């Protein structure tokens, strides 16, 4: 029976009020009274009442969540409300850090969105768009994406976000950012403020410019040019990758943070006009 602090898992991520609201909604949808749900799940009615009112401070165990879910016939909805992976998925999560990550819905949402953006980028930029194996032909991608979206041919945008204004780096990122908005079917804000749409467009634009193959080649080229992979200079590696791929330094640092085997404390890189 729940109510025993020692048998329930405490967590700073537990939102008793949000969970209680979801639990009550699911119970009403199932046309069950509190007494009926308590009996079906083997939960004390007073504890169930505290749960629904957001007054139960301790996170529920998987066993209790499973019993409540079975009684409510709600699938994984209650696990989601508790910020926990569903039982069917838990067997797939063998890394404790991954399991803990799934207990944080906001972090999971960001990670899954990033994976989704990476999939969009990989579907838009294939090897044929990297003619020299190094730099993405972003103008060609622009034309192809507009055609795919049913848009009339048009020149790449003359203005947009980017660094090293007036350089090839700025032009390429500006076009990639515009392509991202087309792929995401969002509108670009005139001031490029920090909205969700602009953030995602910038992230996707960066992914369009840095496919994994060319990114790998850029890292190898940096090490071949003299950087010691065991004592890599963060500034030097970021600058080398940025110059190799013709991308802003911040983007090189961001992508190197995702690169397997690279464990650097990436420092800010000064963006000097080329």
pLDDT-derived band of residue 229, with 50, 70 and 90 as boundaries?
A: low
Higher per-residue pLDDT: 100 or 269: 100
**Mean pLDDT within 31-59:** 89
Give residue-wise pLDDT tens across range 260-274: 655 554 444 444 433
Q: For a pLDDT cut of 90, what percent of the chain falls above it?
A: 28
Most confident of 100-114, 193-207, 254-268: 193-207
* CA-CA-CA-CA dihedral for 252, 254, 258, 260, to nearest 10: 40
Q: What is the pLDDT of residue 228?
A: 65
The whole-chain average pLDDT of the chain stands at 79
Higher per-residue pLDDT: 146 or 57: 146
Of 207, 32, 225, nearest to 116 (Cα)?
207
pLDDT-derived band of residue 36, with 50, 70 and 90 as boundaries?
A: very high
**Mean pLDDT within 85-90:** 68
Q: What are phi and psi of 150, to 5 degrees?
A: 75, 25
Q: What is the DSSP letter of 164?
A: S
Q: What is the DSSP letter of 133?
A: S
Statement: residue 190 has pLDDT above 70: no
* CA-CA-CA-CA dihedral for 244, 246, 250, 254, to nearest 10: -60
How many C-beta atoms lie closer than 10 Å to residue 254's C-beta? 18
Distance separating alpha carbons of residues 78 and 130, to the nearest angstrom: 46
Statement: residue 215 has pLDDT above 50: yes
* CA-CA-CA-CA dihedral for 176, 249, 254, 252, to nearest 10: 80
Higher per-residue pLDDT: 117 or 160: 117
Judge whether 122 and 133 are in contact, CB under 8 Å. Answer: no
Give residue-wise pLDDT tens across range 2-20: 433 334 444 444 578 888 9
Statement: residue 226 has pLDDT above 50: yes
Judge whether 117 and 204 are in contact, CB under 8 Å. Answer: yes
Q: Which of 106-115, 120-129, 265-274 has the lowest mean pLDDT?
A: 265-274
Q: What is the pLDDT of residue 82?
A: 84
Statement: residue 87 has pLDDT above 50: yes
Q: What is the pLDDT of residue 244?
A: 92
Q: What are phi and psi of 210, to 5 degrees?
A: -130, 60
Distance separating alpha carbons of residues 59 and 176, to the nearest angstrom: 44
Statement: residue 223 has pLDDT above 70: yes
pLDDT-derived band of residue 98, with 50, 70 and 90 as boundaries?
A: low
């Amino acid at each position: 029976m729940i109510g025993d602090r020692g048998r329930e898992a405490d967590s700073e991520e537990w939102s008793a009020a949000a969970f209680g609201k979801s639990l009550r909604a699911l119970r009403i949808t199932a046309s069950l009274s509190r007494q009926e749900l308590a009996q079906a799940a083997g939960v004390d009615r007073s504890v169930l009442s505290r749960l629904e009112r957001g007054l139960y401070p301790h996170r529920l165990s998987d066993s209790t969540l499973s019993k409540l879910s079975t009684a409510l016939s709600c699938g994984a909805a209650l696990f989601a409300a508790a910020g926990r992976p569903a039982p069917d998925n838990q067997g797939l999560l063998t890394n404790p850090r991954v399991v803990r990550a799934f207990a944080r819905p906001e972090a999971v949402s960001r990670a899954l969105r990033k994976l989704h953006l990476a999939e969009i980028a990989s579907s838009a930029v294939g090897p044929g768009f990297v003619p020299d194996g190094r730099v993405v032909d972003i103008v060609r991608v622009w034309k192809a994406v507009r055609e795919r979206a049913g848009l009339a041919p048009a020149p790449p945008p003359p203005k947009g976000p980017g660094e090293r204004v007036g350089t090839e780096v700025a032009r390429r990122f500006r076009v990639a950012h515009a392509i991202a908005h087309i792929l995401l079917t969002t509108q670009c804000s005139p001031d490029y403020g920090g909205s969700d749409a602009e953030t995602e467009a910038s992230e996707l634009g960066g992914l369009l410019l840095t496919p994994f193959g060319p990114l790998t080649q850029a890292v190898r080229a940096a090490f071949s040019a003299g950087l010691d992979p065991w004592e890599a200079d963060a500034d030097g590696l970021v600058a080398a990758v940025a110059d190799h791929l013709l991308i802003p330094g911040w983007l090189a640092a961001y992508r190197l943070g995702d690169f397997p085997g690279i464990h650097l404390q990436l420092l800010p890189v000064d963006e000097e006009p080329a």
